[in-house]
Amino acid sequence: MIFSGTVALLENRDLGHDNFLAVLDAPEVGQSMEPAQFVMVRAGEGTDPLLGRPYSVARIGEGPNGVTIQLIYKVVGRGTGIMAGLRAGAELSVVGPLGQPFPLPEDPQVPVFLVAGGIGIAPFPFLSARLLAAGCHPRLLYGARSSGDLVGRDLFPPGIEMEVATDDGSGGHAGFVTELLDRHLAALDTRTRQRAMAYVCGPTPMMAAADAVLARHESRGHLSLEAFMGCGFGVCLSCVVPLVGQETGYARICVDGPTFPAGSIDWHRSQSP
Ligand SMILES: Cc1cc2nc3c(=O)[nH]c(=O)nc-3n(C[C@H](O)[C@H](O)[C@H](O)COP(=O)(O)OP(=O)(O)OC[C@H]3O[C@@H](n4cnc5c(N)ncnc54)[C@H](O)[C@@H]3O)c2cc1C
Protein backbone atom coordinates (compact mmCIF):
# COMPACT_ATOMS: atom_id res chain seq x y z
CA MET A 1 0.00 0.00 0.00
CA ILE A 2 1.51 3.34 -1.05
CA PHE A 3 0.93 6.20 1.35
CA SER A 4 0.47 9.71 -0.01
CA GLY A 5 -0.04 12.53 2.45
CA THR A 6 1.43 14.91 4.96
CA VAL A 7 3.70 13.86 7.81
CA ALA A 8 5.43 15.74 10.63
CA LEU A 9 9.16 16.30 10.87
CA LEU A 10 10.23 15.22 14.36
CA GLU A 11 13.95 16.03 14.12
CA ASN A 12 16.34 17.47 11.55
CA ARG A 13 19.84 16.75 12.85
CA ASP A 14 22.92 18.37 11.33
CA LEU A 15 25.48 15.58 10.66
CA GLY A 16 28.12 18.01 9.33
CA HIS A 17 29.47 18.73 5.85
CA ASP A 18 25.97 19.62 4.53
CA ASN A 19 24.50 16.27 5.58
CA PHE A 20 21.38 15.91 7.74
CA LEU A 21 19.26 13.23 9.39
CA ALA A 22 15.51 13.86 9.09
CA VAL A 23 13.18 11.87 11.35
CA LEU A 24 9.61 11.72 10.04
CA ASP A 25 6.53 10.61 11.93
CA ALA A 26 5.33 8.28 9.18
CA PRO A 27 3.99 4.97 10.53
CA GLU A 28 1.95 4.26 7.37
CA VAL A 29 5.14 4.42 5.30
CA GLY A 30 7.58 2.82 7.72
CA GLN A 31 5.62 -0.30 8.56
CA SER A 32 5.75 -1.68 5.01
CA MET A 33 9.11 -0.21 3.91
CA GLU A 34 11.94 -2.49 2.73
CA PRO A 35 15.66 -1.58 2.35
CA ALA A 36 16.47 0.52 -0.78
CA GLN A 37 12.87 1.48 -1.32
CA PHE A 38 12.43 5.23 -1.34
CA VAL A 39 10.01 8.02 -0.62
CA MET A 40 9.26 11.15 -2.66
CA VAL A 41 9.36 14.12 -0.29
CA ARG A 42 8.26 17.67 -1.01
CA ALA A 43 9.49 20.05 1.61
CA GLY A 44 8.42 23.44 0.28
CA GLU A 45 5.23 25.46 0.46
CA GLY A 46 2.88 25.85 -2.51
CA THR A 47 4.55 25.03 -5.82
CA ASP A 48 8.17 25.62 -4.77
CA PRO A 49 9.58 23.12 -5.42
CA LEU A 50 6.92 21.71 -7.73
CA LEU A 51 8.16 18.12 -7.61
CA GLY A 52 9.10 15.88 -4.73
CA ARG A 53 12.65 14.59 -4.35
CA PRO A 54 13.53 10.89 -3.90
CA TYR A 55 15.20 9.71 -0.67
CA SER A 56 16.10 6.23 0.50
CA VAL A 57 15.00 5.31 3.98
CA ALA A 58 18.07 4.99 6.20
CA ARG A 59 16.40 3.67 9.32
CA ILE A 60 13.05 2.68 10.73
CA GLY A 61 12.68 3.89 14.31
CA GLU A 62 10.16 4.15 17.08
CA GLY A 63 8.07 7.27 17.38
CA PRO A 64 5.07 8.84 19.08
CA ASN A 65 2.67 7.15 16.65
CA GLY A 66 4.53 3.86 16.33
CA VAL A 67 7.06 4.08 13.53
CA THR A 68 9.35 6.79 12.17
CA ILE A 69 11.28 6.83 8.93
CA GLN A 70 14.72 8.40 9.01
CA LEU A 71 16.41 9.93 5.97
CA ILE A 72 20.07 10.84 5.60
CA TYR A 73 20.37 13.58 3.00
CA LYS A 74 22.97 15.89 1.55
CA VAL A 75 22.19 19.45 0.53
CA VAL A 76 22.90 19.78 -3.19
CA GLY A 77 20.20 22.16 -4.46
CA ARG A 78 16.80 23.71 -3.96
CA GLY A 79 14.79 20.78 -2.57
CA THR A 80 17.41 19.53 -0.15
CA GLY A 81 18.27 23.12 0.81
CA ILE A 82 14.67 23.87 1.79
CA MET A 83 14.53 20.62 3.77
CA ALA A 84 17.70 21.51 5.69
CA GLY A 85 16.11 24.76 6.87
CA LEU A 86 13.07 23.06 8.42
CA ARG A 87 12.59 22.63 12.16
CA ALA A 88 10.80 19.93 14.15
CA GLY A 89 7.05 20.33 13.71
CA ALA A 90 7.23 21.23 10.01
CA GLU A 91 4.98 19.28 7.65
CA LEU A 92 6.26 17.40 4.60
CA SER A 93 4.40 15.82 1.68
CA VAL A 94 5.48 12.20 1.40
CA VAL A 95 4.69 9.42 -1.09
CA GLY A 96 5.96 5.90 -0.49
CA PRO A 97 7.20 3.24 -0.15
CA LEU A 98 8.26 3.26 -3.82
CA GLY A 99 10.54 1.05 -5.91
CA GLN A 100 12.04 -2.41 -5.60
CA PRO A 101 13.99 -3.36 -2.45
CA PHE A 102 17.37 -5.07 -2.19
CA PRO A 103 16.76 -8.85 -2.11
CA LEU A 104 18.47 -10.53 0.87
CA PRO A 105 20.90 -13.42 0.26
CA GLU A 106 19.27 -16.86 0.39
CA ASP A 107 22.23 -18.21 2.39
CA PRO A 108 23.25 -16.08 5.40
CA GLN A 109 26.71 -17.68 5.46
CA VAL A 110 27.95 -16.05 2.22
CA PRO A 111 30.27 -13.02 2.53
CA VAL A 112 28.18 -9.85 2.27
CA PHE A 113 29.66 -6.47 1.37
CA LEU A 114 27.85 -3.14 1.57
CA VAL A 115 29.64 -0.71 -0.74
CA ALA A 116 28.72 2.93 -0.19
CA GLY A 117 29.97 6.07 -1.91
CA GLY A 118 29.22 9.41 -0.27
CA ILE A 119 25.52 9.93 0.42
CA GLY A 120 25.04 6.46 -1.06
CA ILE A 121 25.41 5.40 2.58
CA ALA A 122 21.70 6.23 3.01
CA PRO A 123 20.02 2.82 2.47
CA PHE A 124 22.63 0.82 4.38
CA PRO A 125 21.77 1.24 8.09
CA PHE A 126 18.29 -0.18 7.30
CA LEU A 127 19.70 -2.94 5.09
CA SER A 128 22.24 -3.80 7.81
CA ALA A 129 19.50 -4.24 10.39
CA ARG A 130 17.63 -6.60 8.06
CA LEU A 131 20.78 -8.56 7.19
CA LEU A 132 21.73 -8.99 10.86
CA ALA A 133 18.20 -10.15 11.65
CA ALA A 134 18.52 -12.71 8.83
CA GLY A 135 21.77 -14.06 10.35
CA CYS A 136 24.15 -12.45 7.82
CA HIS A 137 27.47 -10.81 8.74
CA PRO A 138 27.71 -7.73 6.52
CA ARG A 139 30.89 -5.70 6.13
CA LEU A 140 30.51 -2.03 5.23
CA LEU A 141 33.01 -0.55 2.77
CA TYR A 142 32.41 3.22 2.84
CA GLY A 143 34.14 5.69 0.57
CA ALA A 144 33.98 9.48 0.44
CA ARG A 145 36.02 12.40 -0.79
CA SER A 146 37.35 13.24 2.68
CA SER A 147 36.99 11.88 6.22
CA GLY A 148 34.49 14.63 7.18
CA ASP A 149 32.15 13.30 4.48
CA LEU A 150 31.98 9.85 6.10
CA VAL A 151 28.72 10.64 7.90
CA GLY A 152 26.17 8.37 9.51
CA ARG A 153 28.42 5.59 10.77
CA ASP A 154 26.84 5.88 14.22
CA LEU A 155 23.43 5.14 12.68
CA PHE A 156 24.37 1.52 11.99
CA PRO A 157 23.32 -1.27 14.32
CA PRO A 158 26.11 -2.76 16.45
CA GLY A 159 27.87 -5.73 14.87
CA ILE A 160 28.68 -4.25 11.47
CA GLU A 161 32.33 -4.40 10.46
CA MET A 162 33.38 -1.18 8.73
CA GLU A 163 36.25 -0.08 6.54
CA VAL A 164 36.57 3.36 5.02
CA ALA A 165 38.33 4.87 2.04
CA THR A 166 38.88 8.52 1.17
CA ASP A 167 39.94 10.10 -2.10
CA ASP A 168 42.29 12.52 -0.30
CA GLY A 169 43.72 9.91 2.08
CA SER A 170 42.41 11.72 5.20
CA GLY A 171 40.82 8.52 6.54
CA GLY A 172 41.22 4.79 5.94
CA HIS A 173 42.37 3.51 2.57
CA ALA A 174 43.67 6.32 0.34
CA GLY A 175 41.79 5.67 -2.89
CA PHE A 176 38.45 4.45 -4.16
CA VAL A 177 36.13 2.26 -2.13
CA THR A 178 35.85 -0.08 -5.10
CA GLU A 179 39.53 -0.94 -4.52
CA LEU A 180 38.56 -2.26 -1.08
CA LEU A 181 35.85 -4.39 -2.68
CA ASP A 182 38.33 -5.69 -5.23
CA ARG A 183 40.84 -6.55 -2.49
CA HIS A 184 38.26 -8.42 -0.39
CA LEU A 185 36.91 -10.44 -3.31
CA ALA A 186 40.44 -11.27 -4.52
CA ALA A 187 41.23 -12.72 -1.08
CA LEU A 188 38.38 -15.26 -1.29
CA ASP A 189 38.67 -18.68 -2.88
CA THR A 190 36.85 -19.05 -6.21
CA ARG A 191 33.77 -20.81 -4.88
CA THR A 192 33.28 -18.37 -1.98
CA ARG A 193 33.87 -15.40 -4.27
CA GLN A 194 31.19 -16.62 -6.67
CA ARG A 195 28.71 -16.93 -3.83
CA ALA A 196 29.60 -13.56 -2.24
CA MET A 197 27.01 -10.79 -2.41
CA ALA A 198 27.64 -7.05 -2.68
CA TYR A 199 25.11 -4.26 -2.28
CA VAL A 200 26.23 -1.02 -3.89
CA CYS A 201 24.94 2.57 -3.70
CA GLY A 202 26.75 5.75 -4.66
CA PRO A 203 27.54 8.06 -7.55
CA THR A 204 27.11 6.60 -11.03
CA PRO A 205 30.85 6.29 -11.88
CA MET A 206 31.46 4.44 -8.61
CA MET A 207 28.61 2.04 -9.30
CA ALA A 208 29.87 1.38 -12.82
CA ALA A 209 33.32 0.65 -11.33
CA ALA A 210 31.85 -1.65 -8.65
CA ASP A 211 29.84 -3.47 -11.32
CA ALA A 212 33.06 -4.09 -13.27
CA VAL A 213 34.82 -5.42 -10.13
CA LEU A 214 31.92 -7.81 -9.47
CA ALA A 215 31.97 -9.01 -13.08
CA ARG A 216 35.73 -9.61 -12.98
CA HIS A 217 35.41 -11.74 -9.84
CA GLU A 218 32.17 -13.38 -11.01
CA SER A 219 30.58 -12.25 -7.77
CA ARG A 220 26.94 -11.38 -7.28
CA GLY A 221 25.52 -8.01 -6.38
CA HIS A 222 22.72 -5.50 -6.49
CA LEU A 223 23.09 -1.82 -7.28
CA SER A 224 20.77 0.96 -6.12
CA LEU A 225 20.84 3.59 -8.86
CA GLU A 226 20.42 7.34 -8.71
CA ALA A 227 18.79 9.55 -11.31
CA PHE A 228 16.80 12.70 -11.72
CA MET A 229 13.27 11.68 -10.93
CA GLY A 230 10.11 13.62 -11.66
CA CYS A 231 7.18 11.54 -10.50
CA GLY A 232 8.61 8.48 -8.73
CA PHE A 233 5.96 6.09 -10.05
CA GLY A 234 6.83 5.38 -13.66
CA VAL A 235 4.96 7.99 -15.64
CA CYS A 236 7.37 10.81 -16.52
CA LEU A 237 10.24 8.62 -17.89
CA SER A 238 12.90 11.05 -16.60
CA CYS A 239 14.83 8.28 -14.83
CA VAL A 240 15.31 5.63 -17.54
CA VAL A 241 18.49 3.56 -17.72
CA PRO A 242 19.64 1.30 -20.60
CA LEU A 243 19.84 -2.44 -19.96
CA VAL A 244 22.51 -4.83 -21.21
CA GLY A 245 21.65 -6.86 -24.29
CA GLN A 246 18.64 -4.78 -25.24
CA GLU A 247 19.61 -2.37 -28.02
CA THR A 248 16.56 -0.24 -27.38
CA GLY A 249 15.65 -1.54 -23.94
CA TYR A 250 15.35 0.81 -21.00
CA ALA A 251 14.18 0.38 -17.43
CA ARG A 252 12.65 3.04 -15.22
CA ILE A 253 14.72 3.47 -12.08
CA CYS A 254 11.67 4.53 -10.06
CA VAL A 255 9.51 1.44 -10.63
CA ASP A 256 11.81 -1.24 -12.10
CA GLY A 257 14.57 -0.16 -9.68
CA PRO A 258 16.18 1.62 -7.98
CA THR A 259 17.82 -1.78 -7.37
CA PHE A 260 19.15 -3.76 -10.31
CA PRO A 261 21.20 -6.96 -10.37
CA ALA A 262 24.92 -6.47 -11.02
CA GLY A 263 25.66 -6.90 -14.72
CA SER A 264 22.29 -5.66 -15.95
CA ILE A 265 23.07 -1.97 -16.68
CA ASP A 266 24.59 -0.93 -20.00
CA TRP A 267 27.02 1.65 -18.57
CA HIS A 268 28.41 2.53 -21.98
CA ARG A 269 25.03 3.57 -23.35
CA SER A 270 23.99 5.19 -20.05
CA GLN A 271 26.99 7.53 -20.15
CA SER A 272 26.71 8.43 -23.84
CA PRO A 273 25.15 11.82 -24.64
C1 LIG B 1 16.05 6.28 -5.54
C2 LIG B 1 16.84 7.49 -5.05
C3 LIG B 1 17.16 7.58 -3.72
C4 LIG B 1 17.88 8.69 -3.25
N5 LIG B 1 18.18 8.73 -1.92
C6 LIG B 1 18.84 9.82 -1.44
C7 LIG B 1 19.12 9.90 -0.04
O8 LIG B 1 18.76 9.02 0.74
N9 LIG B 1 19.79 10.99 0.39
C10 LIG B 1 20.18 12.00 -0.47
O11 LIG B 1 20.79 12.98 -0.03
N12 LIG B 1 19.92 11.93 -1.78
C13 LIG B 1 19.26 10.89 -2.28
N14 LIG B 1 18.98 10.82 -3.61
C15 LIG B 1 19.38 11.96 -4.46
C16 LIG B 1 18.42 13.11 -4.21
O17 LIG B 1 17.12 12.75 -4.65
C18 LIG B 1 18.88 14.38 -4.93
O19 LIG B 1 20.08 14.82 -4.35
C20 LIG B 1 17.82 15.47 -4.79
O21 LIG B 1 16.72 15.15 -5.62
C22 LIG B 1 18.38 16.81 -5.18
O23 LIG B 1 17.33 17.75 -5.09
P24 LIG B 1 17.63 19.30 -4.98
O25 LIG B 1 16.36 20.02 -5.30
O26 LIG B 1 18.28 19.63 -3.68
O27 LIG B 1 18.70 19.55 -6.09
P28 LIG B 1 18.48 20.14 -7.55
O29 LIG B 1 18.34 21.61 -7.41
O30 LIG B 1 17.41 19.39 -8.27
O31 LIG B 1 19.89 19.78 -8.18
C32 LIG B 1 21.09 20.33 -7.59
C33 LIG B 1 22.32 19.64 -8.16
O34 LIG B 1 22.32 18.24 -7.81
C35 LIG B 1 22.39 17.45 -8.97
N36 LIG B 1 21.45 16.34 -8.79
C37 LIG B 1 20.14 16.41 -8.48
N38 LIG B 1 19.59 15.21 -8.36
C39 LIG B 1 20.58 14.33 -8.61
C40 LIG B 1 20.65 12.91 -8.64
N41 LIG B 1 19.59 12.12 -8.39
N42 LIG B 1 21.84 12.34 -8.92
C43 LIG B 1 22.91 13.10 -9.17
N44 LIG B 1 22.92 14.46 -9.14
C45 LIG B 1 21.76 15.05 -8.87
C46 LIG B 1 22.00 18.35 -10.13
O47 LIG B 1 22.75 18.03 -11.27
C48 LIG B 1 22.41 19.71 -9.65
O49 LIG B 1 23.75 19.96 -9.98
C50 LIG B 1 18.29 9.72 -4.14
C51 LIG B 1 17.96 9.62 -5.48
C52 LIG B 1 17.25 8.52 -5.95
C53 LIG B 1 16.90 8.42 -7.39
174 CB-near residues (< 8 Å, 6+ apart): 165, 166, 168
Centre of ligand 1 to C-alpha 173, Å, is 27
Q: Which string of DSSP letters, residue by residue, matches 42-85?
A: E-SSTTSSSS-EEEE--EEEEETTEEEEEEEEE--SHHHHHHHT
Ligand 1 contacts CB of residue 15 (under 6 A): no
Say if residues 156 and 72 touch (Cβ distance below 8 Å).
Answer: no
Residue 263 scores a pLDDT above 50: yes
What is the CB neighbour count within 10 angstroms for residue 163? 17
Confidence of residue 44 (pLDDT cuts 50, 70, 90): low
Ligand 1 atom nearest 49 alpha carbon? 25
- Among 19, 75, 76, the mutation site with the greatest number of ligand 1 atoms within 8 A of its Cβ is 76
What pLDDT, on a 0 to 100 scale, did the predictor assign at position 273?
43
What pLDDT, on a 0 to 100 scale, did the predictor assign at position 47?
64
Residue 110 scores a pLDDT above 50: yes
Confidence of residue 271 (pLDDT cuts 50, 70, 90): low
Ligand 1 atom nearest 73 alpha carbon? 11
Residue 248 scores a pLDDT above 70: no
Kindly report the average pLDDT of the chain as a whole number: 92
What is the CB neighbour count within 10 angstroms for residue 160? 18
Task: Over range 88-95, report the average pLDDT.
Answer: 94
pTM: 0.94
Ligand 1 contacts CB of residue 125 (under 6 A): no
DSSP H or E stretch at residue 27: helix 27-30
Ligand 1 contacts CB of residue 13 (under 6 A): no
- Among 12, 19, 39, 80, the mutation site with the greatest number of ligand 1 atoms within 8 A of its Cβ is 80
Domains of the chain: 3-98 (2.40.30.10), 112-224 (3.40.50.80)
Q: Whose CA is nearest to atom 27 of ligand 1?
A: 77
- Alpha-helical (H) ranges within 118-157 are 124-133
What pLDDT, on a 0 to 100 scale, did the predictor assign at position 262?
96
Q: Whose CA is nearest to atom 29 of ligand 1?
A: 77
What pLDDT, on a 0 to 100 scale, did the predictor assign at position 202?
96
- Among 55, 78, 252, the mutation site with the greatest number of ligand 1 atoms within 8 A of its Cβ is 55
Say if residues 238 and 226 touch (Cβ distance below 8 Å).
Answer: no
Residue 272 scores a pLDDT above 60: no
What is the CB neighbour count within 10 angstroms for residue 89? 8
Residue 124 scores a pLDDT above 90: yes
Residues 137-169 have pLDDT tens digits of 999 999 999 999 999 999 999 989 999 999 999
Task: Over range 52-72, report the average pLDDT.
Answer: 94
Task: Over range 234-254, report the average pLDDT.
Answer: 80
Residue 208 scores a pLDDT above 90: yes
